[in-house]
């Protein structure tokens, strides 16, 4: 996949994020996890403040890197799912079928 194709697909995926967040706002499990994260974030901040400044920075950079890495992995999984879906539809002959409007 070329960089321009990847950019177009990433823009498409980015446009889908609004839909995802709309669906998640009513997901009770997601809301519970967000609330738990707020609480654990406060506890983690208290623990981090017991460390020296350089140690805090190191720990935060590590977890920020993990979040970035996970985001990239999720983007790739989504793109692969999109490609797989198109392949399945092509295999089923959907693209060659006439569409009634």
Q: What share of the chain is helix, strand, coil (3-state, %, to 5)?
A: 85, 0, 15
Residue 97 lies in a domain: no
Q: At what angle do helices 53-91 and 28-48 cross, to 10 degrees?
A: 160
How far apart (Å, rounded) are the C-alpha atoms in residues 7 and 97? 29
Angstrom distances, CA of residue 12 to CA of 37, 44, 72, 77: 29, 35, 15, 14
Which residue segment(s) compose the domain that 75 sits in? 3-91
Could you tell me if residue 20 is inside a domain?
A: yes
Domain for residue 8, yes or no? yes
pLDDT at 1 over 80: no
Kindly report whether the global pTM for this prediction surpasses the value 0.85.
Answer: no
Residue 78 has pLDDT above 80, yes or no: yes
Q: What is the pLDDT of residues 21-48, one digit of tens each?
A: 888 999 999 999 999 999 999 999 999 9
Asked, for residue 73, whether it belongs to a domain, the answer is yes
Looking at the structure of the chain, the number of domains it has is: 1
Domain assignment present for residue 100? The answer is no
Residue 97 has pLDDT above 80, yes or no: no
What local confidence, expressed as pLDDT, does residue 70 receive? 92
In a domain, 101, yes or no: no
CA–CA dist 60, 90 (Å, integer): 45
Instruction: Indicate whether 9 pLDDT > 80.
Output: no
Closest CA to 72 of 18, 10, 21: 10
99 found inside a domain: no
Assign 51 to helix, strand or coil.
coil
Residue 96 resides in a domain: no
């Amino acid at each position: 996949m070329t960089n321009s194709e990847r950019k177009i697909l990433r823009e498409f995926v980015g446009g889908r994020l609004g839909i995802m967040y709309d669906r998640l706002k009513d997901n009770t499990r997601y809301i519970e996890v967000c609330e738990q994260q707020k609480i654990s974030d406060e506890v983690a901040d208290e623990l981090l403040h017991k460390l020296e400044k350089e140690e805090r920075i190191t720990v935060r950079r590590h977890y920020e890197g993990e979040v970035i890495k996970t985001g990239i992995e999720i983007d790739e999984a989504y793109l692969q799912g999109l490609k797989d879906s198109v392949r399945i539809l092509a295999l089923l002959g959907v693209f060659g079928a006439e569409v009634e409007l």
